[in-house]
Amino acid sequence: MSVRVRMAPSPTGLLHIGGVHTFLFNWLYARGREGACLLRIENTDTSREVREATQQIQRSLAWLGIDWDGPVTFQLDAMDRCRELAARLVERGEAYEDEGAIRFHMPDEGVTGWDDVVRGRIEFPNEQLEDVVIVRSDGRPTYNFASPVEDMDDAITHVIRGDDHISNTPKQLQILRALGHEPPVYAHIANILGTDGKKLSKRHGAVSVDEFRVAGYLPDALVNFLALIGWAPDGETTIMPRAEIVERFTLEAVSASPGTFDYAKLDWMNGVYLRELSPEAYADEVVTYLRERGSDWPEARVRAMAPLVQEKVGKLGEIPAFTGFLFGDVAPDPAELDAPLLEAAERSLAGVEPWSAQAIETALRQLCEELGQKPRKVFAPIRVAVTGSRVSPGLYESLELLGRETSLARIRHGVELAA
């Protein structure tokens, strides 16, 4: 039997990282078994629908490289099919009309259960299951009817979803069996928690996929990080190429316990991915990122700057603040400047030829010897005068890229500020 799964987001809000985590597990399971992964927009709750959500969901998944098979479908498109099946259940006495709506008869005795791939055997006493509405009085099918009907019609073999759907499962099982369909395999994965042990939310930081993109995370790093929340191939491996994750992923290795979204670990992992890029690929990522943010920085200088920061930043979003001195004026703090030292630096650098990082380093180290000072003491005010900050890319490389004229002008201005 060929594996068929579905990603079924609701357009009642923008796609958040918890939803992506669930979609990723569906995608990994299908792709690792040459199966199909469908994308269904579950839009039966029209009162809460957010207009731009459907496009944002697709855009976010595409950016992450989580693709789907066939066209995107919409749950409301199956309204006629659901009404037809509901009428059939009414005819057979398995459903009944109630104030214009249609309710499904739940059994009164026994239990409804299933063998959950992640959680083992789960059972609900039938006496606790209310007769669920399957078609509203306005003719719209409810989620608990439309979803299993579409799972049936789409020949879904595995339903992989969040554990907040566990309470829906016995209702959907009973409906599918009444429709004469063998239910799919269910796997309910745990919620993601923040480092404080509470459900991941805005208070922990970014949660929508768009926010992670703006912050400058790489899709492959984010996918690698999310895959390891609640799943571990061996308990040791952390950095895994996407193809290896697909190959090794199994539902049986998914934990039933909630995983933790550790931003520090994500930042570390993203930094690893950035540093592993070739210089050319890294420069491409930087150029693309800045262009998407509306930056007008000259591309040639951006590409020249990229090698200076590849080992320094953990997210592309850190680059504008870290390297802005290369593209605009700076405002150094006079308290961090030293006029006599900067005057000496200006004299030392004025005759450097050629204006290269190597020649600049030679001149500045010679200055340290002449002044009898350690490089840290000498370089700090120069760095502040030139970059506006105590933290910057390599000083020699930064001076080279800025050019002789701009570098010396900023050092002279530093002397004036410190005087």
**Tens digits of residue pLDDT in 85-109:** 999 999 999 999 999 999 999 999 9
Q: Hey, how many other C-beta atoms are within 10 angstroms of the C-beta on 28?
A: 25
pLDDT of the residue at 312: 94
pLDDT of the residue at 91: 97
Residue 252: Cβ-neighbour burial (10 angstroms; 0-12, 13-18, 19+): exposed
**Tens digits of residue pLDDT in 197-232:** 888 776 676 688 999 999 999 999 999 999 999 999
3-state secondary structure of 160: strand
Q: Do domains 4-71+192-260 and 75-189 have the same CATH topology?
A: yes
pLDDT of the residue at 49: 67
Q: In whole angstroms, give the CA distance from residue 415 to residue 38.
A: 65
Q: Measure CA of the first residue to CA of the last residue in the chain; give whole Å.
A: 80
Range with lowest mean pLDDT among 38-52, 139-153, 246-260, 301-315 = 38-52
pLDDT of the residue at 196: 86
Task: Provide the residue ranges of all domains of the chain, joining segments of one domain with +.
Answer: 4-71+192-260, 75-189, 277-326, 334-418
Name the residue among 99, 93, 171 with its Cα closest to residue 138. 99
Tokens describing residue 181: 């369909």
* CATH tag for 75-189 (out of 3.40.47.10, 3.40.50.620, 3.40.50.720, 3.40.50.2300): 3.40.50.620
Q: Helix 219-227 to helix 263-276 angle, to the nearest 10 degrees?
A: 130
Residue 376 makes CB contacts below 8 A (sequence gap 6+) with none
Q: In whole angstroms, give the CA distance from residue 10 to residue 46.
A: 10
CATH 3.20.20.100 at 4-71+192-260, yes or no: no
Position 51 confidence tier, pLDDT thresholds 50, 70, 90: confident
Q: In whole angstroms, give the CA distance from residue 303 to residue 216.
A: 17
pLDDT at 236 > cutoff 90 = no
329-345 exposure pattern, b = at least 16 Cβ within 10 A, e = fewer: ebebeeebbbeebbbbb
Position 48 confidence tier, pLDDT thresholds 50, 70, 90: low
3-state secondary structure of 260: strand
CATH 1.10.287.1770 at 334-418, yes or no: no
What rounded mean pLDDT belongs to the chain? 94
Tokens describing residue 153: 């019609």
Whether a cis peptide bond, with omega within 30° of 0, leads into 71 is no
Tokens describing residue 106: 């739940």
**Tens digits of residue pLDDT in 400-415:** 999 999 999 999 999 9
Q: In whole angstroms, give the CA distance from residue 40 to residue 44.
A: 12
Tokens describing residue 90: 């009414």
pLDDT over 90 percentage in the chain: 88
**Tens digits of residue pLDDT in 282-323:** 999 999 999 999 999 999 999 999 999 999 999 999 999 999
Name the residue among 275, 328, 329, 278 with its Cα closest to residue 298. 328
